[in-house]
Structure 1
Amino acid sequence: MKLLTLQWGELNAIIPTIFCLMGIWPMIYACLMFADGRMQNFRAWPYFLGSNFTGVICLLPYLIFRKSNQAFYGKKDKWLSILDQRTTGAYLLVATIGLFGYAVIAGNWEDYIQQFFHTPFVHLISLDFCLMCLIFPISLLFDDDMARRGIKDTRIFWVVALFPLFGPLIYLCLRPSLPETFSKQCDATVNTP
């Protein structure tokens, strides 16, 4: 209740930081899922909305049942245009750095470790955070997003994969944008020798 009513002064700063980072992670996934979801048999938005309340539990069905797709066809709508912008990644990165600064300056690690073992909610959000970090590089969603944008350098994949949370955020800040409109005929013309 103290988290939801923003009574953070009464909490160890690490706990609201992890809680807020569990809002950053679904946005990171959304920046990849919404372009991908256009090409799937099911939409990405229900999984995105669910992940804001249940974390990785709602993302897993999308990541498991989606089909690999390395192309984007159609026109970007307003929401997809926002998620595709580098500035969205920059805002998420700045918010994350601020949250980490808050945790480092005002947090108590001994208290956090004790709460991790004795408070189920702290235990749950901490494990959920770790799972979000772990699943990002091993799902094909990230590989497909790189291919969709013409990024073929495997070193970029490993840099993003080896730096949990910050790697994906920096990727969002630096990745090239999708074209505003792209048709299958254009793709066939480009791929024709």
Structure 2
Amino acid sequence: MISKIFMSLLWVGFLIYGFLLAPPGQPDTIELIQNLSTGNWDNINPLIISVFNSIGLVTVLYANLLFIDGREQKIVAWPFAITGLALGTFAILPYFILREPNPKFSGEKNLFIKLSDSRFLHLLLTITLLVFVFWGAISGSWVDFVSEWQSRRFINVMSLDLLCLCLIFPLIIRDDMLRRNIDSNTLFWVISLIPLLGTLVYLCFRPSLPQSETN
């Protein structure tokens, strides 16, 4: 219950900040989003490109986790997973608030589950994500990024969205570990205390889901 209250407050706080307290929107925001989405990256700070694409990749990781987690939930996970690809924290947190802890997996693994459980897919996503992160950090202008962060709502909220997504992975990782018969508090805390990187390593090397739950 405490965790649900915390997540609810975090979600409401994020909504209030994003719509009322963040820097004002700019008239060219739609054009910027279109350019970022279509790969028209000329004259765009690589750091901004890196953050934008990192959010996309991180939300794909969340979608994979939600497709598996939703198998044993009373609520349907896929609407949150799909909208999370566009809305990030705004869509992911409501699922975390509504879901119940359930460290079990049962039944046949359908195509979506097999894809979500694929080690190769997560290795590919991890490599791509790290390439964007390091490229943006090395090639981008931090001075320009800070200036944009202070003056543009889209850049400001997008950056905080990515930060929040990286920090809340442990809220769903624990049950994912238990479904794979990994009951290690030490490993869980290592993953939790190394934001994003700990989760990426876990997703790349975790054992596959069992075909059915063994009681």
Shared fold (TM-score, shorter chain, > 0.5):
yes
| Identity in percent | 36
Deviations 1:15-34 (A, max 9, x none): 01111111111122123211
Unaligned runs of 5+ in 1: 189-193
Unaligned runs of 5+ in 2: 1-30
Correspondence 1:67 to 2:100: yes
What is residue 183 of structure 2 aligned with on the other side? 152
**CA distance in structure 2 between the aligned counterparts of 1:104 and 1:9, rounded to whole angstroms:** 17
**CA distance in structure 2 between the aligned counterparts of 1:155 and 1:161, rounded to whole angstroms:** 10
Which stretch of structure 1 is more off in the superposition, 2-11 or 79-88?
2-11
Deviation of the 1:133 alpha carbon: 1.4
Deviations 1:104-162 (A, max 9, x none): 3320001001100001110010010111012112x2x2111111111112221122112
**CA distance in structure 2 between the aligned counterparts of 1:154 and 1:182, rounded to whole angstroms:** 24
Give the alignment partner of residue 127 of structure 1, picking from 160, 165, 185: 160
SS in 1 for 2:72: coil
**CA distance in structure 1 between the aligned counterparts of 2:182 and 2:128, rounded to whole angstroms:** 26
1:156 counterpart letter in structure 2: L
Deviation of the 1:4 alpha carbon: 2.5
Deviation of the 1:5 alpha carbon: 3.2
SS in 2 for 1:182: coil
- The TM-score normalised by the length of structure 1 is 0.90
What is residue 9 of structure 2 aligned with on the other side? none
What is residue 212 of structure 2 aligned with on the other side? 182
Any conservation in 1 of the 2:63–2:84 contact (CA below 8 Å)?
no
What is residue 14 of structure 1 aligned with on the other side? 47
SS in 2 for 1:9: coil
Any conservation in 1 of the 2:63–2:82 contact (CA below 8 Å)?
no
Correspondence 1:3 to 2:36: yes
Q: Which runs of 4+ in 1 moved over 2 A?
A: none
Correspondence 1:166 to 2:158: no
Correspondence 1:107 to 2:137: no
**CA distance in structure 1 between the aligned counterparts of 2:193 and 2:121, rounded to whole angstroms:** 22
> Equivalent residues in 2 for 1:45-124 (5 A)?
45-124=78-157
- The TM-score normalised by the length of structure 2 is 0.81
Size of the aligned set, in residue pairs, is 182
